[in-house]
Amino acid sequence: MTLPVFKFLGLFGALVSLPAFSLIFLQDMLPTNPKSIPPEEVPEGLTADKYFELGTRYKDLGWIFQSKMALAKAIQLAGGTEVGLKARRFLDTKLPKNSVPAEATQRNVLGFNQMFSGNKGAAKKTFENLIAKFPDFEWPYSNLSFQAPRP
- Domain ranges, ordered by start, for the chain: 5-94, 102-145
**What is the C-alpha to C-alpha distance for residues 39 and 7, in angstroms, rounded to an integer?**
12
Higher per-residue confidence, 15 vs 88: 88
Question: Considering the entire predicted model, what is its pTM?
Answer: 0.66
**For 124-128, 137-141, 146-150, which range has the lowest pLDDT when averaged over its residues?**
146-150
The pLDDT > 90 percentage for the chain reads 52
Q: Name the band, by pLDDT with cuts 50, 70 and 90, for residue 15.
A: very low
Closest CA to 91 of 57, 68, 116: 68
Q: Per-residue pLDDT tens for 77-119?
A: 998 999 999 999 999 999 988 888 889 988 998 998 999 899 9
How far, in Å, are 7, 11, 86, 88 from residue 80 at the CA level? 32, 29, 10, 10
Contact, 147 vs 115, CB < 8 A? yes
